[in-house]
Every structure is written in structure tokens, then in C-alpha cells.
Amino acid sequence: ALKKRAGSRLVRAWELKEDLRAVFRAADGSEAAELLDDWMHRAAYCKIAKVVAVEKKVRRRRDDIIAAVELGISNGRVEAIN
């Protein structure tokens, strides 16, 4: 039972990670806001401490994240150099 529960937690964490990545692929700010708000709600109640901690940080930066999607801003090229 423990293995199954741990596996389901891993699957949930992976799904939430992928759903957060989808926010940054949104077509516009309103789609990003909708996806992000849904993600924050699910992440806040997922009972995985590390995910909940990330959700709190994302919640504080919500407007910045949406603005980045709207403006197409990314630091991907800089990070690729590191």
C-alpha cells in the first residue's frame, strides 16, 4: 500500500509540474491566468509539501508570470549558457 501511495504522489507531482509548464505555453495572458489559477488551486491542496511550497511562491509572483507570458519574456537563452 505504501508503494502504491508513493507512486500516486509521484504521478500527481509530475502532472502538476507538467501543468505548470503548460502555463508558459499559453496563447495569451488570459489563457495563462486561467491555467495558472487552476494550477494554484490544485497545487495548494495536493498534500505534497514541496509542491505546496512552490505554489506559495508562484502565487506571490502570479502577476509577473502572466505578464511574462503576455510579453513572451523568457530567460531560456541565458539559462542555456549556464
- How many residues in the chain? 82
Per-residue model confidence as pLDDT tens digits over 20-76:
999 999 999 999 999 999 999 999 999 999 999 999 999 999 999 999 999 988 877
Q: Are 4 and 42 in contact (CB under 8 A)?
A: no
pLDDT of residue 79: 75
For residue 4, give Cα distances in angstroms to 7, 14, 16, 27, 75. 5, 15, 18, 36, 38
Domain limits of the chain?
A: 2-81
Question: pTM above 0.85?
Answer: no
